[in-house]
Amino acid sequence: MTRPLSVAIAGLGTVGAGVLTMLRQNADLIAARAGRPIAVTAVSARDRSRDRGVSLAGLRWFDDPVALAADAAADVVVEVIGGSEGHARQLVTAALEAGKPVVTANKALLAVHGAELAALAEARGVPLAFEAAVAGGIPVIKALREGLAGNRISRVAGILNGTCNYILTVMRERQREFAEVLGEAQKLGYAEADPSFDVDGIDAAHKLAILAALAFGRPVDFGSVHVEGIRGVSALDIAFAKELGYRIKLLGIARSSEAGIETRVHPCMVPENAPIARVDGVFNAVVAEGDFVGRVMLEGRGAGAGPTASAVVADLIDIARGRVTPVWGAASEALSAAPSVPMSAHVGAYYLRLMVVDRPGVIADVTAILRDAKISLESMLQRGRSPGEAVPVVLVTHETSEAAMRAALERIAAMDAVLEPPTMIRIEAG
């Protein structure tokens, strides 16, 4: 039998332990598909005594994860430590420099340092594989880089963070506020003790930067992603969205146009009959639009031991078979130099919610500001009358520019009859 592929794993948390379990539990099937057995022979983690629910007997243990790069017995290094700096970056860099293939689930590392790591992998002629870095068990990397390789991709959009999708789903289904649902998500283990990376959109932005690089054949550019989270979404906005025929989702959207590449993460109102609007709970979904294939949508679990291990093992099988694809789908000299389009240039429709004092002339003043900014209205909602009290007013615009909308909102917020900062949510087709 062909010699087994020897794997060293750095990080034995949920994902690392899941990879070990899957490789053992499905060993025969994996060996058949890989053309040789795949065996973990070395590991590294911070705590030797912790029970991870999987036997570590017979495995060589490294206290220093970076030392795995120099382990002559290891054919492949799997990095599931996480984080864009520190041991994760040092290990991946050292392994590639040593000519070892690397499999990583680390979206932050790839989003921030993916360009230099891809160049290093190309220079050493070794794979840098990362199916697990975006959308867990959904094979979106392979879909974009290989399955849709003959298409010009015009747009990629998706629900890229299960924590945010869970929170927004529960807020809608139970008419509850963000802070309350976040606390529940933390108790259930769907949200971290410090949820900032998730709820402020950073995790989704890391993933979108990777998807945009693959879709448009351009070096990864995390710094150009516009990022907003979901802290400002209220139960009131979700209720108004339902009345208007929308659902609110945190989407990552990348679009190619003659002007360049637009990348943005923010809450969106999508029509409730759009397929992506129906993706609820902790599930992720990615939609890609190609010139020949049309629209393709992939949906599944975006995190967890099983789905993420599934993606890591798929990369290991490719390496065992000798299948190598350039990191961003093409050699570095063939990558695009398309510029990034600033958020101020975005054009679309908008939902605005204002809390205003119910008195004559207020709506006329608001619409005058919008008129001056050349923003036209599609519809307006105002429920009931409470003279002298605060009432919500909802405005839905036709397509306009982000720059015009921002300028108008600044003037509206300065009105003495507007009692809190206006809420703005962009409207997307889905």
pLDDT score of 55: 82
pLDDT score of 232: 94
pLDDT score of 235: 96
pLDDT digits (tens, 9 = 90+) for 329-355: 998 889 999 999 999 999 999 999 999
User: Whole-number mean pLDDT of the chain?
Assistant: 93
Q: Start-end ranges of CATH 3.30.360.10 in the chain?
A: 140-300
pLDDT digits (tens, 9 = 90+) for 262-312: 999 999 999 999 999 999 999 999 999 999 999 999 999 888 888 999 999
Phi/psi of residue 41, nearest 5 degrees: -120, -20
Q: How far is residue 149 from each of residues 158, 308, 311, 314, 411, measured CA to CA in Å?
A: 19, 23, 19, 19, 47
pLDDT score of 358: 85
Q: Which of 106-110, 169-173, 336-340 has the lowest mean pLDDT?
A: 336-340
Q: Start-end ranges of CATH 3.40.50.720 in the chain?
A: 5-133
pLDDT score of 256: 96
Residues 414-422 have a mean pLDDT of 93
pLDDT score of 189: 82
Q: How far is residue 125 from each of residues 101, 128, 328, 350, measured CA to CA in Å?
A: 9, 10, 14, 47
Share of the chain above pLDDT 90, in %: 83
pLDDT digits (tens, 9 = 90+) for 20-31: 999 999 999 999
Q: How far is CA 342 from the centre of its chain?
A: 19
Distance, in Å, from the CA atom of 396 to the CA atom of 336, rounded to the nearest integer, reads 37
**CB-based contacts of 115-122 (< 8 A; 24+ apart in sequence):** 115/219, 115/220, 115/221, 117/92, 117/93, 117/327, 118/219, 118/220, 118/326, 118/327, 118/328, 118/332, 119/332, 120/93, 120/96, 121/96, 121/327, 122/326, 122/327, 122/331, 122/332
Residue 42, pLDDT above cutoff 90: yes
pLDDT band for 164, please (50, 70, 90 cuts). very high
Encoded tokens for 287: 């939609």
Q: What CATH number belongs to 345-427?
A: 3.30.70.260
pLDDT digits (tens, 9 = 90+) for 206-249: 999 999 999 999 999 999 999 999 999 999 999 999 999 999 99
Supply the residues annotated as catalytic: 207
Asked whether 111 and 205 are in contact (CB, 8 A), the reply is: yes
| Residues paired with 347 in a beta bridge | 401
For the domain made up of 5-133, the CATH class stated in words is alpha beta
pLDDT score of 52: 79
User: pTM of the predicted model, to two decimals?
Assistant: 0.94
pLDDT band for 384, please (50, 70, 90 cuts). low
HSE, CB side, 13 Å, CA atoms: give it for residue 363. 14
Q: What CATH number belongs to 140-300?
A: 3.30.360.10
Residue 191, pLDDT above cutoff 90: no
pLDDT score of 102: 98
Q: Start-end ranges of CATH 3.30.70.260 in the chain?
A: 345-427
Residue 1, pLDDT above cutoff 60: no
Q: How far is CA 360 from the centre of its chain?
A: 45
Residue 181, pLDDT above cutoff 90: yes
Residues 1-11 have a mean pLDDT of 89
pLDDT score of 250: 98
Residue 412, pLDDT above cutoff 70: yes
Asked whether 153 and 256 are in contact (CB, 8 A), the reply is: yes
pLDDT score of 190: 82
